[in-house]
């Protein structure tokens, strides 16, 4: 935790996926004020005709990004992170902005097990200077 899970509607080059993962880790650490080593990124290529959204013109592919994080951060952090995630997907994957959907799931610390114990909710005191 934190975990960013990215479902893709197509196949992408390994270099694109690695660039996306690197950018998302750095973005998360910067925006959410945490250590760079904390974010984890998983990328699943569901492939063509496997991931959709019903848009104004019918079915269209989407990129679905699920962000699981420790509770305690201001809503403004999540909004900034969501905008950055969309920008990264547009820049690196070349998908239209409207295709990228971001969903956040906060978790209290007692739902996260790390290093043999439960973790606590995030607090501003653990912020990493940007």
The mean of the pLDDT values for the chain is: 92
Using CA atoms, how far apart are residues 73 and 96, in angstroms rounded to an integer? 29
50-54, 61-65, 125-129: least confidently modelled range: 125-129
Q: What CATH fold (topology level) applies to the domain 3-126?
A: Macrophage Migration Inhibitory Factor (3.30.429)
- What percentage of the chain exceeds 90 in pLDDT? 74
Q: State the burial class of residue 113 (Cβ atoms within 10 Å of its Cβ: 0-12, 13-18, 19+).
A: exposed
Q: Rounded to two decimals, what is the model's pTM?
A: 0.89
pLDDT at 70 over 60: yes
Between residues 31 and 120, the one the model is more confident about: 31
Between residues 35 and 129, the one the model is more confident about: 35
Confidence of residue 130 (pLDDT cuts 50, 70, 90): low
Conformational region of residue 19, where left means phi above 0, alpha means psi within -120 to 50, and beta covers everything else: alpha
Q: Which of 28, 20, 23 is nearest to 69 (CA)?
A: 28
The structural domains of the chain, with segments of one domain joined by +, span 3-126
Contact present, 6 and 63 (Cβ < 8 Å): yes
What is the reported pLDDT for 112? 78
Residue with tokens 């984890």: 40
Using CA atoms, how far apart are residues 98 and 115, in angstroms rounded to an integer? 39
């Amino acid at each position: 935790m934190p975990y960013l899970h990215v479902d893709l509607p197509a196949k992408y080059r390994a270099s694109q996926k690695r660039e996306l993962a690197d950018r998302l880790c750095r973005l998360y650490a910067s925006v959410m004020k945490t250590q760079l080593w904390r974010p984890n990124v998983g990328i699943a290529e569901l492939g063509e005709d496997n991931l959709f959204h019903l848009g104004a013109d019918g079915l269209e592919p989407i990129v679905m990004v699920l962000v699981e994080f420790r509770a305690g951060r201001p809503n403004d952090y999540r909004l900034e992170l969501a905008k950055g995630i969309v920008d990264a997907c547009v820049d690196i994957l070349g998908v239209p902005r409207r295709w990228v959907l971001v969903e956040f799931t906060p978790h209290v610390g007692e739902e996260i097990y790390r290093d043999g114990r439960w973790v606590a909710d995030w607090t501003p005191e653990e912020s990493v200077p940007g």
